[in-house]
Structures are given as structure tokens and as C-alpha cells.
Amino acid sequence: MRSFRAENVSAFVKAVLDYDQGNSREAFGKLVSRYPIALTRDLTRAKKWIRTHARGSERYGLMASSSAHRLKPHAIDIRVATDPIHWFLNDQNDTRSSFYLEDAATEFQVQGLEVDWACVTWDADLRCVGPSWSYHSFCGNRWNVVHNAERRNYLRNAYRVLLTRARQGMIIFIPPGNKADPTRDPAFYDSTFNYLRGIGIPVLEA
């Protein structure tokens, strides 16, 4: 079962990040009956979903890209260092543990490690623009387009790591954005949300 999940999750994530909608839908169809994946614009609902699905001592946690600088309004600040030892090993009574869903681990902390259930938060650093991905870094008070091929590959790989950390299933949180905040324009997020919804990932309804 573990081998089945790992192989199919990897195939699904690769297709998603290759912007291959046809193979993404096919891979998701093979995966979904044994590996729940959901999509939401509401972080509170995402946390409730993950707590509901986890059983017994199954570990769950919040994850974000190290370039996800505009999740701060959702109380996710990737500039605050997360200690992976406390995050991965401490129990449900420790606020530093992944169970509290307060400290987000980045690709640096989770590379090569796994949880049972993951809440992957998706910022505007990697976003859909037309039929492809657009890559961005946040500096000062605005997002800048990343043109360097190596940095683009690194950013895409960061999301590959985050999306393949869960053994049992995951939920993806994409912020709704805020029209009053130019750094969180809803357009930065809506296209990514629509892309993931379009390949079949079910959306948690309000």
C-alpha cells in the first residue's frame, strides 16, 4: 500500500507541476480512492479537515514554501525558524509540534521526511498564468518575476517536496487573496485554485 501511494502520489505531483492537465486528471483518478486530497480557500477549514482525517497517533502538519512571504495575514510566517526536531517528534501537548498546526515547516525542514497528513499552503510565489507556471520572489513590497532557470527549477522543486510529504493524504490551502492588498491580489491565487480544481481535486464547500 505504501509503495502504491508513493508511486502514484509522485506521478500525480509530477504531472501537476509539469502543467500536464490530462495526465494530472488520470493520475488523480488512480490515487483518490486510497489517498484523499482536498482543496480549500479557508485555512480554518483545512485544519479541521486534517484533524478529522488523522487517527490515533498519526502525525499531521502545516507546510509552506520558503518563498511564501505573503501568508503572514494567515498567521504563517516562514521567516520564523521552525525546529524540525520539535516539529516532527514532540507530542500533541507541545505547541512547537506539528500537531498544533501553528508553525509551518518549509521544504528545508521536511526534505526526506514524512508526516501522515499534510496541510500544504500555496502562496503566490508559484502561480498559474495562462497555460504555464509563473515564478515569483517577494522583495520589499512587491512580487518580482523570477527569470533565472535554476531558481525557477528550485521553486518548482520546493512545491514538489511539499506535495509529496504525506503518507495518507493532504489538503491544499490556496488563499483567497485581498483586493485591498496589491501583494495579495486575488488574481495571483485564483488561477492556481482553478487549475487544481479543474484536474478533479474536490473543493471543501463553505
- Using 70 as the pLDDT threshold, list the residues of the chain that sit under it: 1-4, 206
Instruction: Give residue-wise pLDDT tens across range 102-143.
Output: 999 999 999 999 999 999 999 999 999 988 999 999 999 999
Give the pLDDT confidence score for residue 86 in this predicted structure: 96
Give the pLDDT confidence score for residue 1 in this predicted structure: 44
What's the start-to-end Cα distance of the chain, in Å? 32
> For the chain, which domains are there?
2-198 (3.40.50)
pTM of the model: 0.95
CA-based radius of gyration for the chain: 16
